Homo-oligomer: A and B are copies of this chain.
Amino acid sequence: EIANLTAEQFQSGSLTGKTVFITAGPTREAMDPVRYISNHSSGKMGYALAEAAVEAGAKVKLISGPVNIPVPERVERVSVESAEEMLEASMLDLGLCDIFIAAAAVADYRPTAIAEHKIKKGSEEIMELHLVKNPDIVATVANSSPKPFTVGFAAETKDVLEYARSKLERKNLDLIIANDVSRSDIGFNSDENAVTLISASSTESLPQASKRQLANRLIERISAQYKSTAR
């Protein structure tokens, strides 16, 4: 009885004393005071990971774009809108961060200039919107010094594993979690997900499960891989 309890505590305490930063949700990139560019990320996966990490004993900072999910207990949430704000919140106290999990769907591009007043619809049938590339948050984190154990996501609609492997290398990540968002039964707005975990030396598929169950398994795997990394 006591042995079981201790074993469970040990299990659930796999991240005790560790600090985990998690980004979640979409970003919104303003075109003017009323319009923006965004994406369909619900934030569910990032929030589930935050909950699982706290249950594993970690101190969690959840850097979240606009979503409709309550803050999990014992999680510190920092609310942001744009990719630039998300980067700033990610870099703040990064030296204290042991594991960084980039679950947010950051907009790749933002409008070059934000109009101060609402853009008036002109008579033009066609309009060009000028976009500039956003900072790459997970790559900036993974190339910082000291670098936390950095976990990225690859949400793709085709050639999923191939893109994920290339992203792992290109961005200097320790681990990448690949999922196929072209399937409507899993991914972005769904409650379920199925993913493949890829590191430099291993590939492991986790079967379809609720995002909450999957989050527990992912935190377990991330924690194990983090510990196996000499640092």
A residues in contact (CB < 8 Å) with B: 31, 33-41, 68, 105, 107-109, 112, 117-121, 124-133, 155-158, 163, 181-182, 188
Bound CA span A127–B134, Å: 11
Q: Which residues of B sit under 8 angstroms from A118, Cβ to Cβ?
A: 155-157, 181
Chain B min CB distance to A120 (Å): 8
Task: Determine if B126 and A129 form an interchain contact, defined as CB atoms under 8 angstroms apart.
Answer: no
Q: Smallest CB–CB gap between A168 and chain B, Å?
A: 15
Q: Which residues of B contact A128 (CB under 8 A)?
A: 128-131
Report the separation of the CA atoms of residues A125 and B130 in the bound assembly, to the nearest whole angstrom.
Answer: 11
Q: How far is the CA of A197 from the CA of B18 in the complex (A)?
A: 58
**Which B residues touch A108, using CB under 8 A?**
119, 121
A134 to chain B, nearest CB (A): 9
A35 touches B36 (CB 8 A): no
A34-B105, A35-B39, A68-B68 known; A133-B121 Cβ under 8 A: yes
User: Are B132 and A125 touching (Cβ within 8 A)?
Assistant: yes
Known: A34-B39, A68-B68. 9 other contacts (CB 8 A): A34-B40, A38-B38, A108-B119, A109-B121, A118-B157, A125-B133, A126-B130, A127-B130, A127-B131
